[in-house]
Amino acid sequence: EAGVTQFPSHSVIEKGQTVTLRCDPISGHDNLYWYRRVMGKEIKFLLHFVKESKQDESGMPNNRFLAERTGGTYSTLKVQPAELEDSGVYFCASSQDGTGQPQHFGDGTRLSIL
């Protein structure tokens, strides 16, 4: 089966611009998670979708971040406007159910804000 796919793999933008990250989960996985690793820090949870609904968005840094999962398939994470501290690696993960089963991760999107 195809794994979790993230696009783009790397994005370099200037402060103040907008960037949209995309995640395609494993087919049939209702649960989709976004995480972020800022350089030198641990990987941190951003939010969790169950199908198209936001189950938990307690980790979203601020209102410049907007996540969507229309139709319960792929998800997008938009940063508008981007700030320097948004730089990092953004990971997406999916799992079949939300009861402690392992989450399968994509390769991540490395976001660099100049």
Partner 1 sequence: AQSVTQLGSHVSVSEGALVLLRCNYSSSVPPYLFWYVQYPNQGLQLLLKYTSAATLVKGINGFEAEFKKSETSFHLTKPSAHMSDAAEYFCAVSNRGSNYKLTFGKGTLLTVNP
How many other CB atoms are there within 10 angstroms of residue 43's CB atom?
13
CB 75 to partner 1: min, Å: 15
Q: Does 102 bind partner 1 (CB under 8 A)?
A: yes
Q: How many residues make contact with partner 1 (CB under 8 A)?
A: 26
Number of other CB atoms surrounding residue 17 within 10 Å: 13
Report the site for partner 1 in 20-59 (rule: CB under 8 A).
33, 35, 41-45, 48, 55-56, 59
Q: How many CB atoms lie within 10 A of CB 51?
A: 12
CB of 16 to partner 1, least distance (A): 28
Q: Which two tokens stand for residue 2?
A: 């195809």
> Shortest Cβ distance from residue 53 to partner 1 (Å)?
13
Nearest one of 37, 36, 29 to 101, comparing CA atoms: 29
**Secondary structure of residue 100 in the 3-state scheme:** coil
Binding mask 63-92 for partner 1 (x = CB under 8 A): ----------------------------x-
Helix and strand totals (H; E) in the chain? 0, 11
Residues that bind partner 1 (CB under 8 A): 4, 6, 33, 35, 41-45, 48, 55-56, 59, 91, 93, 98-108
